[in-house]
Structure 1
Amino acid sequence: MFSTHLWLKISLVICLTLNFSQSLAQEIYDETYYQNHQIQQLTIPDKSLNFLVLGDWGRNGHYQQRPVAKWMDVAMMQLDGEFIVTTGDNFYSNGVASVDDPYWQSSYETIYNGPHLFEDWYVTLGNHDYRGNWQAQIDYSNISRRWNMPNQYYAKTFAIDDKSSVLMIFLDTNPLNPDYKNEAKYAETQKQDGAKQLAWLEHKLATTKASWTIVIGHHPLYSSGKRYGTTDGIRGVLEPILEKYKVDAYYAGHEHDLQHNQPQGTTVAHYVSGAGSEVRPVAQREFTRFAKSEAGFAAVSVTKNALLTQFINASGQVIYQHQIARNKK
């Protein structure tokens, strides 16, 4: 004969099982799911190349990582998105140990599991990734079909239509950041030849025939957040090159928020998409166009004549839109 205590345990297990089953039922991705999950204010340009930009995200599903992933899937569906870009700090706090690290499952594969997130991911490295085995993130490209990082830095050109295209350059800003030269915990970043990467960057920008040029890196050159006033080092390295070649947009992470910064007299539009999980406070600065301490990501749409950036929060709301016209070169 079962005791009352045992019956209570059995009842609790049954309730938990039912609740788990119900939650699984709610995650069935079908027509009804997407009819009930729409980003109402999302602008979808005609004949555009569409992709998402996500930064500072890998936290085992903690903070707002899961709801951000949910709305990324919806955004990719609505936009018919082609790929996803990361701005680094893919795994907190100390990167991954190897390609077999359980973190790949608990913080990536089982979090970004919506059907529209199984497109190509183009990945950049952040400072926290260098605290672990950064080479494993390159090597994971040979294991995962969607994870793409052929090197610490690389470039790829995407066609918009028959006559226009966008060059996307994925930098490794860690060895380029003078702030890390004397930091023991980031000693690994200094083993790369930064001068070689900069020469490669200049060559790519000088020789491209693409209609648009977009650069992705981890460290922002301007910040309206925690690191306001402390980005002079990396800005001094990169801004002269980006301005010289009239790069259209620079997307960064590192700051755990969403920002658009545009200092007077500059050509490059500076965006921060580093709100993939945890967020930090921001403030209005002299160069701030927009800054919000909300979890979320950026949706980018590029057409022959315009580049549109939309920030989407963890509740599936468009909280900012900014469009720039094609830079006549």
Structure 2
Amino acid sequence: MAVENCSHDEEAGLLTGKISSCSKSKCWFQILLASVSVVLVISVISWYPSFGGRFIQSTNKKGSIIISKSLDNNPLHFAVVGDWGRKGAYNQSWVAAQMDKIGQGQKFSFLISAGDNFYENGLSGIEDPLFEESFSNVYTGENLQKPWFAVLGNHDYHGDVLAQLDSALVLRDSRWHCGREYQLLHQLESSAHGGSYVEFFFIDTVPFVDEYWQTYHKPMDWRGLLPREEHLVQKLQVLSKALESSVATWKIVVGHHPIYSEGSHGDTVELIERLLPILNTQKADLYVNGHDHCLEHIKREDSSINFITSGGGSKAWKGMKPTPNKNGVKLYYDGQGFTTFTVTSTHLHISYFDVYGSVIHEVDLYK
């Protein structure tokens, strides 16, 4: 099988309160309604597949979904791949096969998608066959049958964004989970003092990019995000508070767009201005992204954060930006591949794999 080389690409309560004075029939109705609500809440908690752990899904008043996982599993292994959904083409299937092969040894607990899940224009609806053609029918390996936690990319916004967020997709493939903003908490060790954790903070970066809002740009599905500035302010406030209150040993933030990148898209200035200061202040350890179709590791002197690009899930070889500055660049691989992570309470190890499944770069961080 030959590796395909391409150079061009176009650029998604319980009822609370008290019963005071009411008729007997009305009281019984409220009691019945409250009982139904209890059953629904229990069903939501039990519905999400366990995959050997315990997942709890809840929705707050702003609609942000929080997923928490509580399970002793030290070390934790997971993989990240972005920019993949092309019905297996452009070596998507080959990358998937290599991920499965590596997963046999690493025993992934879950996988993370860094966005641009379905090319070129996202999903057309919850019944779009592209979901199976680009996801279920490609990532068929035994070691990839784990939860997939996804963020949205700009290509996903060209279609029906709400379809990717709909729980109906979970009925089509129980591995799938996608949200605008959510958290994933994984226990590494338990102790009398609470143990140690790694916490993931998933954020939708697409609305930050000014270009997508211009009239000349291809239409985007902005439902639920207007007014824009109010949405962005609320999003950043929620993330800042979540990072600040986290007791995790490792804090990993996942979004689609890079903060810094030497790839063809380059830095995302809106994220440098608005997101990066929060990540620095709240001491995030990693920012993980896709968007540029390459593999990168950047560690600049002016930030304690390691910037990890894992956007090599399918179409790649797009070249570097016109004027690369190479500030803090430890790796730039202009091709297909993926990354894997091994996390303990004191050590975080990242391996970069190319399309052939060979390790091309490694990162070791310690606490």
Aligned residue in 2 for 1:30: none
Counterpart of 2:125, as a letter, is S
Structure 1: state its 5+ residue gaps: 1-45
Question: Contact 2:159/2:221 (CA < 8 Å) preserved in 1?
Answer: no
Does the residue aligned with 1:308 lie in a helix, a strand or coil?
Answer: strand
Aligned residue in 2 for 1:89: 116
Counterpart of 1:97, as a letter, is S
Question: Contact 1:99/1:136 (CA < 8 Å) preserved in 2?
Answer: yes
CA distances 1:2-60 after superposition (whole Å, capped 9, x unpaired)? xxxxxxxxxxxxxxxxxxxxxxxxxxxxxxxxxxxxxxxxxxxx931010000000011
TM-score, L = length of structure 1: 0.81
User: Residue 65 in 1 paired to residue 92 in 2?
Assistant: yes
Of 102-111 and 85-94, the range deviating more from structure 2: 102-111
Does the residue aligned with 1:175 lie in a helix, a strand or coil?
Answer: helix
Q: How far apart, CA to CA, are the structure 1 residues paired with 2:148 and 2:116?
A: 14
Question: Contact 1:260/1:271 (CA < 8 Å) preserved in 2?
Answer: yes
Aligned residue in 1 for 2:285: 248
TM-score, L = length of structure 2: 0.73
Counterpart of 1:188, as a letter, is D
Choose from 294, 298, 309 the match for 1:261: 298
User: Residue 302 in 1 paired to residue 343 in 2?
Assistant: yes
- Give the count of matched residue pairs: 279
Structure 2: state its 5+ residue gaps: 1-72, 226-230
Choose from 79, 84, 87 the match for 1:52: 79
Does the residue aligned with 2:233 lie in a helix, a strand or coil?
Answer: helix
Question: Contact 1:258/1:296 (CA < 8 Å) preserved in 2?
Answer: yes
Choose from 193, 196, 200 the match for 1:164: 196
Choose from 210, 225, 236 the match for 1:178: 210
Q: Quickly say closer, same or farther: Cα 1:177–1:115, change in 2 above 3 A.
A: same
Of 278-287 and 73-82, the range deviating more from structure 2: 278-287
User: Residue 287 in 1 paired to residue 331 in 2?
Assistant: no
Does the residue aligned with 1:310 lie in a helix, a strand or coil?
Answer: strand
Counterpart of 2:293, as a letter, is H
Whichever structure has more helix as a proportion of its residues is 1
CA distances 1:179-227 after superposition (whole Å, capped 9, x unpaired)? 3332542543485212111111011001111111000000001011102
Q: How far apart, CA to CA, are the structure 2 residues paired with 1:256 and 1:190?
A: 27
Does the residue aligned with 1:275 lie in a helix, a strand or coil?
Answer: coil
Question: Contact 1:88/1:218 (CA < 8 Å) preserved in 2?
Answer: yes
For 1:88-237, list aligned pairs within 5 A: 88-139=115-166, 140-149=169-178, 151-162=179-190, 163-183=195-215, 184-189=217-222, 191-192=224-225, 193-228=231-266, 230-237=267-274
CA distances 1:273-301 after superposition (whole Å, capped 9, x unpaired)? 00000112236712211100121100011
Counterpart of 2:197, as a letter, is S
